[in-house]
Every structure is written in structure tokens, then in C-alpha cells.
């Protein structure tokens, strides 16, 4: 089948550099500079894929990023495999392997093609309508639908490529390097502005660069040669940065744009090693000039989707840029002059043009005369009503259009062909403009949406601004640029332009057929197989909003985002509903303009750089001692230290016993620490904590509970009075940043009169906690100068002291209920002090323990963990911590909320202890608590918040929140689990040492 359709050498491809590639397992050849699509066309391959729903054969339709049909899988079954790559964009390289998607077993024989025959049974909304009932079956349906609906396969192994992010700040960003973009870039850069020019294609110059027709001239040269000279000039300008293969994905507010720069996708794989594959450019531009051009519209008629049917502009580009003929017997269907331009290009290259079918009745066009001179038959006022050829078009049928364009009349004329070019006029590419918040207006004459109101310092120029002809571009662009850039003149103020194009157009959104609509397949969205019939059905079923019609019919919801068909969908809706085009607006244009790879989005933030993490000064020691780590906020905290193949349960049991029987040591450095100074520091603490602080003596510590204004517990921790006007507050590990933020907020906004200064010192101090009956002996060896007697250094007090020459603060505070010390020391000395504790502690059986043991030990004592035993619905009263709420203080954050009608209810969830009837049964945290399992529905009373097996009490213990739990002491409750129910008794949450004897043991 491999015919060679390379017709003429093109200066844009390198015929001395032959490239071999594989498509669907067969080897083919192309040249450097080819896209996969142009190389396939040169090998006479049109059939590249199957459609999504009906599995109809589909071929190359366009030559750019708007391509709906030919999306392929690259390098199947390798770690570089990538789905949904547009064959029209990927440049071929030695070793490229691509395959068709959405077909099985092959693109030539696809079982799914049966859907095409079943299509009368698959109307718009088919899936919604069919798989709704019964609802419980959805999970089962979904599995099969997803399996049959997938577009391509995702890679299953890590991406071997490197991606980067780059920030760019510039005076002017120009998006699109077509003729207007080049004019803008030269003008901006020559005026000394730091300019960035980006274009998604590998070469500059848009569609003008390959325009070598006598019919389009600038300063008496053909427009392509003129532009080439301009491009050569701008390449020499220093303050102009040009990025090719760079597609702007998103245009956000305040001129913030994201673009993807493709650096290696066109290189043979062995040349990509150690190179960055793609960059995400984060561009902040003072001014943005959008010059994204326009996209040619297809036409909507019966069977308009066969392989061999292309946009007229694509046929021109393949011929002029790649020297490839899309067919040997070409026919065009058009409603404007563009198809004639293409026909002339083909004729020049000796490619046969059979006929042009033009919707227009009367045409005054120099291009038309030229075409007719070359013996091409032009059917004026005709349209195509059907096409034939399953895997490639071989025949078209035409009929005369009625005067109003709503019907076809007369008899059918059949013409044979192997390629049909269609042109429905042009749609300005306003995607980026609208993404940025710009508002469109509708231009009646040629039925296009164009920019109306800008949302930032930006303009659209050229075709994307509705200047669709060379004359308009050359005439208007310099004018717009002078105003926008605030300059007096440009190099283009006196450029002479000559164009043979006639602007007339006969716009018919849905071309009439001799068949009734129900019997036609006129595709509006090729990728999602949405037809004109589907859209009309949606309207009949009552959908009116364009956004609803879009979702119901899936028009414009493919990977191409409906770049080709959305305008027709709108047109058909307004024609059917009898409304004006402009009234419906458009569907929302959302980023990205073309799909981005995940690699580009994440850049270097992969693997260990995926997220920031914080390490304590003792981190290396924990590692060396085989700690397992737990993520707490961004911290890595030692979780437990397994010994001799212990599992977590066994390690925690051992550590918990050791801490109570001998001594335990914990790295508590992650707790938030806020240094509070100022003459109003005590008053400040009075206002932020629920308890009173004024009378706390210097050198003493106090536990504090902090609420939100809604009365719910927010954070807790011990605060120490270091001096008359100096405190150090500790917060929970996860809450540290938010607590500081909240305190600063109150100081700056509500109480600016208070003389208080806050400084986070979390990272500056490390905290080593030593607890257990042997802790005193250990500390007395580590800090021999410190008097540890209960008289001098009682529980809840602090001492300034020294270890060697290093100052440190030692607090005698306890989160385990044991006799316990916390050494706070400058972070860089912490590891050596830790090691000293371990060395001295050897004789006293010191055991390092992690956060899990810490949680277990505090649960034995009934101490809460904010965020585990509380959520944002627990007041201190709910926690049975009434003792910490000052009755005397006039006000503190959250006080008023503690007696709102809702917070004083008796049946709020309240914290209680839970003991299982079987002491060996350990509850699951999060398990629901009920009283009666026979009631239907079962009333949920609460849930388990903390649960452990206590090795010290030799039984299972748990904390939970239970509706009205405060008054349920001793009551039996039930925890229903999947296969059993567990009986529990409500108990005091303090399970161990209620008298606090161990604190001074």
C-alpha cells in the first residue's frame, strides 16, 4: 500500500536526513522536519485511529494541536510510553514507535466497530440513561465502561525523564509567532523592551511562512519570503527571547501564564539522556500580546468524518511545508475563499484538483478565476450531502443548495476522489484571551467571537483578534501595537500589501441533506462522536444552556476540548432554538489549551523532593537506631524503634513498659515553641488561654488550653514563665504555625495596644524528654550541677542551667505521668546531649521511645491529644476538663461560646474512657459506638478516638467521644464491627495513677 506521496522538496524538511519509525508495528520512513502525521500521509496512510464511541475509522484531519482524531500511543510497553499524543504535533525521530489507540485487535479490523452499527441505540446521554438504575449496580457498570472507554494507556513505571520549572519575568510576552506575532516581537524588542516570544510549533512564521503565492504580497515580495527576512532579523535581537515548541497552557489573571517548553521530544531517545525533557515556564509579563491566530472550521454534513477528509488549510500546510500530497484526486468543499488558496498551492505542485464545491452562489474572486483557468470545475451554490468509503473516502455526492440554504434541491451528482478538503471559514483562537478573564463579542458578518474587553494589560492581534486576512493584519497590527506599547512609530507603518482574497462567506452551521436528520451522521465533535443529531436531541429533551448541552452530548469534552466543533455546536443550538448566536455565549475555555504531562506539572518535585520535610537534630541518630518514622505535619518523627524483628505492636509494648519501669527518652523537638516577651505578656496569655496566668510565678510552668472563638479546643501545651515579662509557649507539633499565626492576628488586629512580641523558636531549640523512675538519676549524671531535689526543683517548674558550657533550660513537666524532665538546648548541641543521656542511661536501662509509645503512655493517663481525641467540635467541657476553664476571668478567646445554647446541651459528644469486657480485645480507632443494635436505624452515639493495649495495666484501654457520655459512667455500650459486636463499659478516662504519685516517684 505504501505509495510515495512526497511531491516536492520543501525547504522546511531535510531530505538528506532520512528517519525511520514504526507505526502499528510496520516500519516507515520520513525526513527530519516531518511530523508523524506528515510522514504517514507521505506513505499514503490516512487511517490512524478509531473514534471513541462508535469506533469509526478516523484519519488525519488537521496539521496542528487542534487535531481531534489522530491521537496515538508512543512507545507502548516502555517506561516512556505516553498516551493521547497528537500525531500532527509530534516530530519524527529515529526509533519513534507509535500505535493507534481505542481499537482492538487492530485499527484496520476493530471489534468495537460494531458500535457503529448499533449507533441508533447509542444516543446522546446513553450512558446516563442506561446505567442509572439500579444505583447500586453503578460500580459494576463503571468497571466495564471505563475499560472500553479508555483513551490510551498510562505508563505503569516511573517516568525516567527530567522536568523543570522556570520563572520568567518580562516586559512583553508574545504568544504565537505567526506574521502578527513576529511584527509585535520586533516592534517591542526594538523599543528596548525585554521581550519573550513563544510558539507551539518547531518553526516560526505560522501559516504565512510557507505562503509563496503570487496572490499574497508584502512590499512586492511574496508574503512568505518577506516574513522570512523579518524572522532572520529578530533572531539577532539581544533582548528578545524566542522559545519554540512552547505551548501556552494557561493565561491567568494579572498576566501570569503557564507554558510548556518541549526540549527533547523531537530527538532520538539516545540523545535525550541527562537532558531536561520539558519545562514548565511560569511567566509574569507586564504586558501580554496574544497572537494565537485562528483555526479553520470544518463543515457539518453526513459522513463528514471519513479518513481522507481534512481541513483545507491542513492540506495546504502538508503540501507547502512538508511537500506531501494528501491525495491524488482532491475535491474541496468550502464556503469561503480559503479552499481556493489551497487548490492553487496543489495545482502549482502538480497535484490534481478535481473540483471545488462552494456553498456560495455568486463569487467574485481572483482566486476562483485562477482555479477555473486550471480547468478545475467549481460547483457554485452546491454542497456535499454524503461521502463514501469505509477506511478512506472514495466518492462524494453533491446537490444544489436552496436559496435559503436550508434544503438541497435537484439531482445528486457523484464525484470520485481520494481526498476531500473542507473549509468552513475561520475561528479566532480566543482560548487564552477568555481564560484570562476577557469578554467576547460576536461579529455577525462572518459569525465569529472576537475579544471585546480585556481583563489585564494585554491585547490580541492578528487573526485571533478577528483580523482574518493579510490586508487586515498588516493594516491594523502596527496601529494596535503603537497604542498598546505607547510608541510613535513602527517599521510596519508604510508596508504595502496585496491580497487576492475575497472576504465573502456563506455560513451554514449544519449543511442540509437529502436524508432526514435521524439518518445522518454529521459529526460535530469528532473525538467524542457527538453528532448534530445528538445536539438536536438534547435540545428536544429540554436542555437549553450551552454548558448543559455540552456535558449531555459530551461535545467539546475530548482531549482536543472541541477546538474544531464547538462553534458549530453553538450554531446548531441557536438555529434550532431560534435564538441569536451571541446570546448563548460560549462554553468556558479552561486551561490547559493543550494537555500537559504530569511530569511538567510536578517538575523536580518528585521522589524525596515531592514535599518538604523537617528533621530534628537527632534525626541521624534515629536513623542509625533503626527508627520507623511517622509524618507529623512536615516533620519526620521517630515512631518506634523495632529491635530484633519486632513488629510495631511488640516494639511499642516494650518501650511503654520500659518508660514506666526504668526510663524512657523521647525526641520532643518538633513541639512548637513560641517566645513571648513584653510588658503585657501575662495579660496576653490570660486572653488566649482558658485558665489564669497572672499569678504564675517566675520559674513555673503551666498547662494551657487554647480555644477558637467558637469555644472549640484549638491547641494545648505547657507555657513556662522565664521572667517577669518573658514566657515560652509550647504548642502541638502540627499546630505550631497556625497557633503563631492566630496569636499574631489577635495582636495586630484586635489588641494592638498590648506590648507583646512573638518569635517562633521551634527550630532553634531541641527538646529531649527523659521520663521514668530512673530519670532523676540520669539527669543528675548529665547535669551534675543541677539540684534535682523536689524542694528546689518541683514538678511544673523550670531551671536555667548549663551542660558543659552550653546554656539550657530544663523543665520538670510530664506528658506520661512519670517523673520527667525536658531538656531544651540550642539545636546544634542537641545530638551530643542526647547521646550523653543514652550513654549515662545505659546503667539505668534507658529506652528510646517514639510517638506511638508516647501516645500510649499519655492515654493511660487520660491526657488528650488535640486533633486525635478532639476535632473542631469539642469544648473543654465536652472533654471533662472544666477544671482548666477559669470562672473568674472576664474574657478569653472562646469564653462567650461556652454558654451558647448549643454548647451547654447535655447530649453533646463527651470524652470518656472505654474498657472492653474482654481485656485482650483492642478497639479500632474510629469505630462507631452504639447502645442498641436492634434499633433501626442504629443510633450512633459516638466513636473511638484512641485505643491501645496497655502493657502496664495488662488490658486494653480506649478513649472515645459519646453523646451524653459524662453521665454514663459504668454504662455498657456496644461497638459493632463487621463480623462481631464488642461490649464495652464507660469508664474514667484516667486509667493509671489517678493520684499522680508517679510524678514524684
Partner 1 sequence: MFIINCPFCGEREQSEFKAGGEAHIERPKQPTELSDDEWAEYLFMRKNIKGIQFERWNHIHGCRKWFNMVRDTSNDEIKAIYKMGEKPPVK
Residues that bind partner 1 (CB under 8 A): 252-254, 256, 284, 437, 455, 709-710, 741, 744-745, 748-750, 752, 890-891, 895-897, 900-901
Minimum CB separation of residue 828 from partner 1 in Å reads: 25
Closest by CA to 179, choosing from 497, 420, 446, 565, is 497
Minimum CB separation of residue 253 from partner 1 in Å reads: 5
Q: Which residues pair with 959 in a beta bridge?
A: 913, 946
Q: With respect to partner 1, which residue has the nearer C-beta, 752 or 937?
A: 752
Spatial CB neighbours of 752, under 8 Å, sequence gap ≥ 6 = none
Q: With respect to partner 1, which residue has the nearer C-beta, 469 or 738?
A: 738
Q: Which residues pair with 685 in a beta bridge?
A: none
Q: With respect to partner 1, which residue has the nearer C-beta, 537 or 740?
A: 740
Q: Give CA–CA dist 961/848, Å, rounded.
A: 31
Q: With respect to partner 1, which residue has the nearer C-beta, 126 or 254?
A: 254
Minimum CB separation of residue 687 from partner 1 in Å reads: 10
Neighbour count for residue 127 (Cβ, 10 Å): 15
Are residues 957 and 860 in contact, defined by beta-carbon separation less than 8 angstroms? yes
- Find the helix or strand (DSSP H, E) in which 542 lies: none
Q: Which cell numbers in the block locate residue 609?
A: 523532593
Q: Give CA–CA dist 968/877, Å, rounded.
A: 15
Q: With respect to partner 1, which residue has the nearer C-beta, 368 or 674?
A: 674
Angle, CA 694 vertex, CA 689 and CA 695 arms, to 5° = 120
Q: Give CA–CA dist 369/231, Å, rounded.
A: 33
Minimum CB separation of residue 875 from partner 1 in Å reads: 14
Q: Give CA–CA dist 239/234, Å, rounded.
A: 10
Q: With respect to partner 1, which residue has the nearer C-beta, 655 or 715?
A: 715
Are residues 455 and 438 in contact, defined by beta-carbon separation less than 8 angstroms? yes
What helix, strand, coil percent values describe the chain, rounded to 5?
25, 30, 45
Closest by CA to 507, choosing from 578, 586, 401, 421, is 401
Are residues 38 and 30 in contact, defined by beta-carbon separation less than 8 angstroms? yes
Q: Give CA–CA dist 325/856, Å, rounded.
A: 76
Q: With respect to partner 1, which residue has the nearer C-beta, 680 or 924?
A: 680
Minimum CB separation of residue 891 from partner 1 in Å reads: 6
Minimum CB separation of residue 974 from partner 1 in Å reads: 36
Q: Which cell numbers in the block locate residue 586?
A: 460560549
Minimum CB separation of residue 486 from partner 1 in Å reads: 21
Minimum CB separation of residue 519 from partner 1 in Å reads: 47
Neighbour count for residue 633 (Cβ, 10 Å): 16
Minimum CB separation of residue 889 from partner 1 in Å reads: 10
Q: With respect to partner 1, which residue has the nearer C-beta, 470 or 743?
A: 743
Closest by CA to 736, choosing from 635, 884, 881, is 635
Q: Are strands 672-677 and 757-760 parallel, antiparallel or unpaired?
A: antiparallel
Minimum CB separation of residue 885 from partner 1 in Å reads: 14
Q: With respect to partner 1, which residue has the nearer C-beta, 475 or 710?
A: 710
Q: Which cell numbers in the block locate residue 13?
A: 524538511
Burial (CB < 10 A; 0-12, 13-18, 19+), residue 190, is middle
- Find the helix or strand (DSSP H, E) in which 954 lies: none
Burial (CB < 10 A; 0-12, 13-18, 19+), residue 936, is exposed
CA dihedral of residues 576, 577, 579, 583 (deg, nearest 10)? -110
Buried-state track 903-921, b at ≥16 Cβ within 10 A, e below 16: beeeebbbbbbbbbeeeeb
Minimum CB separation of residue 748 from partner 1 in Å reads: 5
CA dihedral of residues 889, 891, 895, 897 (deg, nearest 10)? 140
Are residues 839 and 621 in contact, defined by beta-carbon separation less than 8 angstroms? no
Q: Give CA–CA dist 28/643, Å, rounded.
A: 61
Q: With respect to partner 1, which residue has the nearer C-beta, 748 or 936?
A: 748
Q: Which cell numbers in the block locate residue 312?
A: 483545507
Minimum CB separation of residue 762 from partner 1 in Å reads: 15
Q: With respect to partner 1, which residue has the nearer C-beta, 252 or 966?
A: 252
Minimum CB separation of residue 284 from partner 1 in Å reads: 8
Minimum CB separation of residue 181 from partner 1 in Å reads: 25
Minimum CB separation of residue 545 from partner 1 in Å reads: 19
Q: With respect to partner 1, which residue has the nearer C-beta, 481 or 712?
A: 712
Neighbour count for residue 606 (Cβ, 10 Å): 14
Minimum CB separation of residue 898 from partner 1 in Å reads: 11
Q: Give CA–CA dist 280/363, Å, rounded.
A: 48
Q: What are phi and psi of 882, to 5 degrees?
A: -50, -30
> By three-state DSSP, how is residue 528 classified?
coil
Q: With respect to partner 1, which residue has the nearer C-beta, 131 or 256?
A: 256
DSSP of 347-408, one letter per residue?
HHTT--EEEEEES-SS---HHHHHHHHTT-EEEETEEEEEEE-SSS--EEEEEEEPTTSSSE
Closest by CA to 288, choosing from 464, 440, 457, is 457
Minimum CB separation of residue 741 from partner 1 in Å reads: 7
Q: With respect to partner 1, which residue has the nearer C-beta, 842 or 905?
A: 905
Q: Give CA–CA dist 73/49, Å, rounded.
A: 11
Q: With respect to partner 1, which residue has the nearer C-beta, 709 or 871?
A: 709
Q: Which cell numbers in the block locate residue 898?
A: 461556652
Minimum CB separation of residue 902 from partner 1 in Å reads: 9
Q: With respect to partner 1, which residue has the nearer C-beta, 18 or 453?
A: 453
Q: With respect to partner 1, which residue has the nearer C-beta, 454 or 703?
A: 454
Q: With respect to partner 1, which residue has the nearer C-beta, 611 or 891?
A: 891
Amino acid at each position: 500500500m505504501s505509495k510515495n506521496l512526497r511531491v516536492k522538496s520543501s525547504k522546511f524538511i531535510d531530505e538528506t536526513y532520512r528517519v525511520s519509525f514504526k507505526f502499528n508495528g510496520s516500519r516507515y520512513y520520513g525526513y527530519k522536519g516531518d511530523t508523524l502525521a506528515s510522514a504517514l500521509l507521505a506513505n499514503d496512510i490516512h487511517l490512524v485511529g478509531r473514534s471513541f464511541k462508535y469506533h469509526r475509522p478516523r484519519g488525519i484531519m488537521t496539521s496542528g494541536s487542534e487535531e481531534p482524531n489522530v491521537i496515538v500511543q508512543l512507545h507502548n510497553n516502555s517506561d516512556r510510553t505516553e498516551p493521547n499524543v497528537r500525531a500532527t504535533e509530534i516530530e519524527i525521530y529515529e526509533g519513534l514507535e507509535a500505535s493507534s489507540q481505542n481499537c482492538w485487535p487492530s485499527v484496520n479490523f476493530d471489534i468495537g466497530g460494531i458500535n457503529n452499527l448499533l449507533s441508533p441505540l447509542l444516543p446522546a446521554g446513553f450512558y446516563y440513561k442506561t446505567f442509572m438504575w439500579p444505583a447500586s449496580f453503578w460500580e459494576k457498570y463503571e468497571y466495564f465502561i471505563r475499560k472500553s472507554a479508555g483513551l490510551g494507556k498510562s505508563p505503569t513505571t516511573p517516568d525516567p525523564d527530567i522536568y523543570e520549572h522556570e520563572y520568567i519575568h518580562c516586559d512583553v510576552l508574545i504568544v504565537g509567532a505567526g506574521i502578527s506575532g513576529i511584527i509585535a516581537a520586533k516592534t517591542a524588542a526594538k523599543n528596548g523592551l525585554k521581550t519573550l516570544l513563544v510558539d507551539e510549533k518547531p518553526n516560526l512564521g505560522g501559516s504565512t511562512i510557507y505562503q509563496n503565492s503570487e496572490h499574497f504580497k508584502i512590499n512586492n515580495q511574496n508574503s512568505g519570503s518577506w516574513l522570512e527576512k523579518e524572522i532572520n532579523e529578530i533572531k539577532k535581537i539581544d533582548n528578545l527571547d524566542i522559545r519554540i515548541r512552547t505551548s501556552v497552557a494557561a493565561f491567568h489573571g494579572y498576566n501570569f501564564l503557564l507554558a510548556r517548553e518541549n526540549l527533547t521530544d523531537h530527538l532520538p531517545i539516545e540523545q535525550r539522556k541527562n537532558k531536561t525533557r520539558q519545562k514548565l515556564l511560569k511567566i509574569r509579563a507586564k504586558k501580554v500580546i496574544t497572537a494565537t491566530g485562528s483555526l479553520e472550521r470544518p463543515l457539518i454534513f453526513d459522513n463528514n468524518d471519513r479518513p481522507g477528509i481534512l481541513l483545507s488549510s491542513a492540506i495546504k500546510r502538508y503540501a507547502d511545508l512538508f511537500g506531501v500530497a494528501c491525495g491524488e484526486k482532491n475535491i474541496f468543499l468550502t464556503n469561503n475563499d480559503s479552499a481556493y488558496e489551497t487548490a492553487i498551492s496543489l495545482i502549482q505542485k502538480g497535484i490534481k484538483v478535481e473540483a471545488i464545491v462552494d456553498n456560495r452562489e455568486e463569487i467574485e474572486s481572483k482566486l476562483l478565476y485562477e482555479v477555473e483557468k486550471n480547468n478545475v470545475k467549481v460547483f457554485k451554490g452546491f454542497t456535499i450531502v454524503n461521502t463514501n468509503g469505509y477506511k478512506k473516502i472514495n466518492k462524494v455526492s453533491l446537490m444544489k443548495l436552496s436559496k435559503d440554504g436550508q434544503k438541497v434541491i435537484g439531482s445528486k451528482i457523484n464525484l470520485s476522489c481520494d481526498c476531500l478538503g473542507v473549509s468552513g471559514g475561520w475561528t479566532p483562537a480566543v482560548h487564552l484571551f477568555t481564560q484570562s478573564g476577557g469578554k467576547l463579542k460576536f461579529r455577525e458578518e462572518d459569525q465569529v467571537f472576537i475579544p471585546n474587553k480585556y481583563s489585564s494589560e494585554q491585547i490580541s492581534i492578528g487573526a485571533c483578534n478577528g483580523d482574518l486576512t493579510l490586508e487586515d493584519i498588516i493594516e491594523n497590527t502596527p496601529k494596535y501595537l503603537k497604542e498598546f506599547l505607547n510608541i510613535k512609530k513602527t517599521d510596519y507603518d508604510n508596508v504595502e500589501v496585496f491580497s487576492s482574497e475575497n472576504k465573502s462567506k456563506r455560513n451554514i452551521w449544519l449543511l442540509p441533506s437529502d436524508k432526514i436528520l435521524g439518518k445522518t451522521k454529521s459529526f460535530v465533535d469528532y473525538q467524542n462522536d457527538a453528532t448534530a443529531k445528538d445536539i438536536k436531541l438534547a435540545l428536544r429533551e429540554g436542555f437549553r444552556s450551552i454548558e448543559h448541552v455540552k456535558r449531555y452530548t459530551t461535545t467539546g469534552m475530548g482531549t482536543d476540548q472541541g477546538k474544531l466543533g464547538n462553534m458549530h455546536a453553538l450554531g446548531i443550538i441557536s438555529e434550532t432554538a431560534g435564538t441569536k448566536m451571541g446570546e448563548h455565549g460560549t462554553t468556558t475555555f479552561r486551561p490547559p489549551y493543550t494537555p500537559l504531562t504530569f511530569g511538567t506539572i510536578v517538575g523536580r518535585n518528585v521522589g524525596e523532593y515531592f514535599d518538604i520535610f523537617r528533621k530534628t537534630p537527632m534525626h541521624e541518630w534515629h536513623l542509625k537506631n533503626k527508627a520507623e518514622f511517622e509524618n507529623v505535619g512536615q516533620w519526620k518523627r521517630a515512631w518506634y524503634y523495632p529491635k530484633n524483628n519486632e513488629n510495631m505492636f511488640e516494639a511499642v509494648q516494650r518501650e511503654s513498659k520500659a518508660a514506666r519501669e526504668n526510663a524512657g527518652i523521647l525526641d520532643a523537638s518538633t513541639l512548637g515553641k513560641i517566645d513571648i516577651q513584653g510588658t503585657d505578656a501575662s495579660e496576653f496569655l490570660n486572653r488566649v488561654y482558658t485558665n489564669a496566668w497572672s499569678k504564675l510565678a517566675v520559674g513555673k510552668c503551666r498547662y494551657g488550653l487554647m480555644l477558637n472563638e467558637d469555644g472549640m479546643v484549638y491547641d494545648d501545651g505547657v507555657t513556662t514563665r522565664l521572667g517577669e515579662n518573658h514566657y515560652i509557649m509550647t504548642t502541638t507539633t502540627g499546630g505550631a504555625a497556625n497557633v503563631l499565626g492566630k496569636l499574631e492576628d489577635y495582636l495586630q488586629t484586635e489588641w494592638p495596644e498590648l506590648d507583646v512580641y512573638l518569635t517562633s523558636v521551634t527550630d532553634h531549640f531541641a527538646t529531649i524528654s527523659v521520663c521514668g523512675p530512673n530519670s532523676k538519676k540520669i539527669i543528675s549524671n548529665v547535669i551534675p550541677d543541677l539540684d534535682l531535689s523536689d524542694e528546689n526543683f518541683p514538678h511544673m517548674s523550670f531551671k536555667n542551667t548549663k551542660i558543659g558550657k552550653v546554656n539550657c533550660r530544663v523543665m520538670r513537666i510530664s506528658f506520661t505521668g512519670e517523673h520527667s524532665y525536658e531538656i531544651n538546648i540550642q539545636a546544634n548541641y542537641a545530638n551530643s546531649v542526647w547521646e550523653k543521656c543514652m550513654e549515662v542511661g545505659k546503667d539505668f536501662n534507658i529506652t528510646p521511645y517514639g510517638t506511638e509509645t508516647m501516645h500510649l503512655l499519655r492515654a493511660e493517663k487520660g491526657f488528650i491529644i488535640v486533633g486525635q481525641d478532639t476535632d473542631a467540635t469539642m469544648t473543654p467541657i465536652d472533654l471533662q476538663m472544666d477544671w482548666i476553664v477559669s470562672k473568674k476571668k472576664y474574657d478569653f478567646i472562646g469564653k462567650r461560646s461556652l454558654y451558647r445554647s448549643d454548647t451547654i446541651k447535655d447530649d453533646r459528644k463527651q470524652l470518656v474512657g472505654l474498657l472492653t469486657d474482654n481485656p485482650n480485645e483492642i478497639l479500632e480507632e474510629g469505630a462507631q459506638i452504639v447502645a442498641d443494635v436492634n434499633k433501626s436505624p442504629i443510633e450512633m452515639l459516638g466513636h473511638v478516638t484512641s485505643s491501645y493495649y496497655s502493657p502496664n495495666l495488662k488490658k486494653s484501654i480506649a478513649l472515645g467521644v459519646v453523646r451524653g457520655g459524662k453521665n454514663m459512667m459504668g454504662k455498657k455500650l456496644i461497638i459493632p464491627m463487621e463480623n462481631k459486636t464488642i461490649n464495652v463499659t464507660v469508664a474514667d478516662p484516667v486509667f493509671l495513677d489517678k493520684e499522680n504519685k508517679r510524678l514524684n516517684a
